[in-house]
Structures are given as C-alpha cells and as structure tokens.
Structure 1
C-alpha cells in the first residue's frame, strides 16, 4: 500500500452521499466534494493514493451557493466544487466507511 500524503486530504474534502450519488455508484462512479482550486490531475492522484484504486476519468463542476432564509434572516450557502470520479472496472470505493 502506498503512503498517504497529508496534502491529498486537502484536495478531497468529503464524499457526497445523495440519491443521485447512489445511482451513479452503480456505474462505477463516486462523487466527492473537493477544494475549489483542485485540478483534475490532483483529484485523480489523491483518489488513487488515498483509496488504492485506479481512476479512469474525473469530471468536475462548480456549484454556486443557494440563497436561503433561516428564521427570517437571508443568507447564502457557500459555493463548492464537486468531482465525479469514474473508476476502472473491478475497482470500488465504499464511501460509507471512513478512511
């Protein structure tokens, strides 16, 4: 097993566990919340090193923060970057367990 560089934890923030992410997992895809300045090669390297899998492709998207009202006070959620990581056949990541 490869050594885990602490910088990889700065790239990958958290897995995204939603209904859409669960459906994507059936096609060997995993969704992660990543750093806003992370590039696709950095995300690929971080996932391969942290989870010991082979990555086929990385797609990213920026989600703009939504405007929300909480107890009459208007606020804005943070913008964040999301990565859809497609894994090679035979590789799996179980996001329900921690690292």
Structure 2
C-alpha cells in the first residue's frame, strides 16, 4: 500500500482505490454541506494525494469531483469533496444510506 501511495502516477485500480477512500465522515455539519454546498466528506488514507482521492472516487462511486480539500483530524485524514454534478453529493449520500 505504501508503495502505491508514494507513486505519483494516477493509475489506480479498484483495490487500491478502496484503500484510499476509507469511509464516509458523517456529522451534523456534513449533512448541512451536502445540501447547501454539494460536498461530501470521507476519511481517506493519510498519505493519499488529492489526485488519488479524485481518481478513487471516480472508480469506486463513479462520481465526478471538481475540488478536494484535505486536512488531518483526530480520526485521520479527512477529504471534503465538491461534486461536478449539481446533485452529486445528495445522490451519493442517499446511495450510501447516509441521508
């Protein structure tokens, strides 16, 4: 896994993508940004780059992401992603059973 994330290449397969995107991050605040800002939060691998996160979301969820902001939290590295599709965050959250 570490070798995969050290690589600058964005050639990611499904197995690698599932090791980059770990789990949805859900709080009351994240529910608000789903509706108001078309954004969704995930805990990601602590060495994942923004490019790897975008590619992994495309592979796992077939989601087109326009921007990613990352930062470290007590629970690990968190990525807040804005979707290109105007209703993308709500659709994915519904599919995942978050809303």
| TM-score scaled by length of structure 1 | 0.73
Higher strand share: 1
Residue of structure 1 equivalent to 2:79: 83
User: How many corresponding residue pairs?
Assistant: 80
TM superposition score normalised by structure 2: 0.73
Aligned to 1:17: 26
* Residue equivalent to 1:52: 62
1:6 aligns with 2:15: yes
Q: Structure 2: state its 5+ residue gaps.
A: 1-12
In structure 2, how many angstroms separate the alpha carbons of the residues matched to 1:86 and 1:6? 23
Higher share of residues assigned helix? 2
1:37 to 47, 52, 69: 47
1:34-68 deviations in Å (ceiling 9; x for gaps): 000000000000011111121100100011x3xxx
Unaligned residue ranges in structure 1 (runs of 5+): 66-78
